[in-house]
Amino acid sequence: MLKPEKMVKIRIIGTNQKRSTIVQDLHDLGIMQIENVNSDVEKLFQNQYNNENYKLLSNYLSEFKGYLSMLNVHEVRHKIYFASEEELFDAISKINIKDKLLHIKETEESLLSTIKENENYVKIFSILKNFKWDISILNNSYIKSFIIEKSEEINKLKNDYTEIIALNDDYSLVAINRKYEAEFLSTLSGISSHIIHIPEFNGKPQALLKEAHNRIKEATEQRNKALNELNDISKENYEEIVQIEEQLEIAFKEAEITSQLASSENAFAMEGWVPEKELENTRKILERDSDNEMIIQVLKTKEEPPTKLSNSKRFKIFEFFIKFYSLPQEYEFDPTLIFALIFPVFFGIMVGDAGYGLVILLFSLFIIHRLDHPPKVSHIPKKISRFVLMILGKNALRNLAKALVPSSIIAIFFGIIFNEFFGFTIYPIPFKIATSPVPVLYLGKLLLISGYIGLVLVTFGFILGIINNIYINHKKAAVAKAGWIFMAWALAILGLNLIHRINLSPTNISSLIGYILFVSGFALVISFEGVQSLMEIPSIISHILSYTRIVGILLASVVLALVINTVFRSTLSDPFYFIILGIVILVFGQIFNLVIAVFEPGIQGARLLYVEFFSKFYFGNGKPFSPFGTRRLYTLKKFDVNKNEINPDKKT
């Protein structure tokens, strides 16, 4: 948990007869990140492998993706197991819906086009319904007519070759001599009014309107019939189609990776990274399934391995914050656990209000439930939900909400201690602090505590840095970090003595300890990092003092809530309209403060860890571990079959 998983690079050499079996096992195990084979090894193979099914699988995959784009989604009740490609191809051969689907889709699209076309006619004929003559007179070899939305701009169209007739309060009819059509269209480009060209029809508008409605009704009935037929086909075939499509996706990936391996007429070779703890189990499975026609070699390499974080489910949600910053390298401490323990405390202190904490908790639980159980009809505006998901994505939003659950609980805890409930005090407090919020009264002590927190975390960061550097044999850097610890404590001791007006003379024991620590640290840093590193001394001071922002953000929230509540209270003795104004100020002010209470503590809490803490020990820039495999939703692995989890409706 405190470090990423230990990774090893392996080389698998096996016979071509067992190639597919080995590749399938690796896919279903999902524990190997496959890399390019070493060039020296690749020269020993002639890459003679030819996968005849590669193109066939590609064609089938495109075909079944097309089916899924046309079919209606239905529930998949069972998972299925395909024991071989032959069984997969056999299932494909039984699917005979291509012609039906194409016919239904073509019919549905044609009818939809008819409906839209006639809906446009309905709009036109509705505007012209009071026109008493056959509308064929509006479009012939001499005249062309338009419907134009009324506006002041319509005066620009008045000239010798146009006739403008008011149809109703919203639209006018404009008829022109066709000789001047080009000139008229040029004039139209200069106005912004909505313009509709009248189509060429024979008949009066009311009769044509009725005919358009009838065509819409008839086309809608035919389209509904086609959609019902499509739904019946979907209901009967969707489950099998989606299962075949997923297995085709997997088979295609396996064929694709197989074609990239170093191979000869009889053997193949592949290389990649696996977690060290999974190596022995992987070896046993591959040897068993290949009848020992393969070997696994552990390679010695100076390459940086990919990073696979190893955290318990409870802390895994905080991996999102670490990945957002930078993945650790294999030899480093994984700061996920530290982040998971410290961030909620920082957040809770900075919110410091039980009411806000409760709202954040309920909102977080709502988001988690909403993402895990999406409703059929959402009352949240689509623009808002799309904007949020565009920024974060569902998984990131879920992890953020889960991270805010313990953070908000701690906020409730500190809110009770501070006697803060939306800025109001609830339970009795001593008279001497009755006029001030608890954080304001004890501001000095809280600032001092936050300074101690900064000193402890900066020291802890340097200790982790010492351990990391010793592990990678950077002994000089490790000693230098010890020097920085000495200087940090020296500055803290001397600073506290200065604040408390304690004698800074070396005759004072605490001051003497501070000077000794500073000189020792100064000497170590200069010796092992050079004189230029002393420029970092101000940053050590600023990093320790930076933790006082915890109290600063808490105080800003408390004071803003106090101001809002004071304004509200001041209106209670005024006329009712001032009371209403006070309620409006209270509600919107509290919502504004609540929004700040979510974003500001979240951003600043993460920043204190990223900048002031991680910078003391964290290298980062790790490469994510990307194992070869696929998440199965509708099909089973053969390892699932061995556990008797196979679909009982499927014979094996």
| pLDDT per position as a tens digit, 596-618 | 988 999 999 999 999 999 989 99
Chain mean pLDDT for the chain: 86
**What is the distance in angstroms between the CA of the first residue and the CA of the last residue of the chain?**
41
- How many other C-beta atoms can be found within 10 angstroms of the C-beta atom of residue 273? 25
Q: Is the dihedral of CA 281, 285, 291, 294 positive or negative?
A: negative
Residue 303 has pLDDT above 70, yes or no: yes
Residue 378 has pLDDT above 70, yes or no: no
- How many other C-beta atoms can be found within 10 angstroms of the C-beta atom of residue 444? 10
Residue 450 has pLDDT above 90, yes or no: yes
pLDDT tier at 649 (50, 70, 90 boundaries)? Answer: very low
List beta partners, residue 9.
273, 299
List beta partners, residue 148.
172, 195
Residue 471 has pLDDT above 50, yes or no: yes
The amino acid at 350? M
Region of poorest pLDDT, from 325-334, 371-380, 515-524, 628-637 = 371-380
Q: How far is CA 289 from the centre of its chain?
A: 39
Q: Is the dihedral of CA 409, 414, 419, 421 positive or negative?
A: negative
By CB atoms closer than 10 A (0-12, 13-18, 19+), residue 574 is: exposed
d(Cα 609, Cα 335) in Å, to the nearest integer?
10
d(Cα 349, Cα 361) in Å, to the nearest integer?
15
Q: For residue 397, what are its two tokens?
A: 């939003």
d(Cα 446, Cα 348) in Å, to the nearest integer?
14
List beta partners, residue 263.
268
Structural contact between residues 411 and 353, judged by C-beta atoms closer than 8 angstroms? yes
Residue 21 has pLDDT above 60, yes or no: yes
What is the rounded average pLDDT of the residues 116-128?
A: 88
The model carries a pTM of 0.74
The amino acid at 358? L
By CB atoms closer than 10 A (0-12, 13-18, 19+), residue 559 is: middle
d(Cα 541, Cα 555) in Å, to the nearest integer?
22
Structural contact between residues 150 and 115, judged by C-beta atoms closer than 8 angstroms? no
Amino acid 650: pLDDT: 44
Amino acid 642: pLDDT: 60
d(Cα 111, Cα 218) in Å, to the nearest integer?
9
Structural contact between residues 623 and 307, judged by C-beta atoms closer than 8 angstroms? yes
Q: Which of 403, 391, 392 is nearest to 365 (CA)?
A: 403
140, 158, 171, 191 from 194: Cα distances, Å: 23, 17, 9, 9
List beta partners, residue 197.
146
Q: What share of the chain is helix, strand, coil (3-state, %, to 5)?
A: 65, 10, 30
Kind of pairing between the strands at 267-275 and 262-263: antiparallel
Q: H-helix or E-strand containing 235?
A: helix 205-259
What is the rounded average pLDDT of the residues 174-203?
A: 78
Kind of pairing between the strands at 33-35 and 7-15: unpaired
pLDDT tens-digit series, residues 200-211 = 888 888 889 999
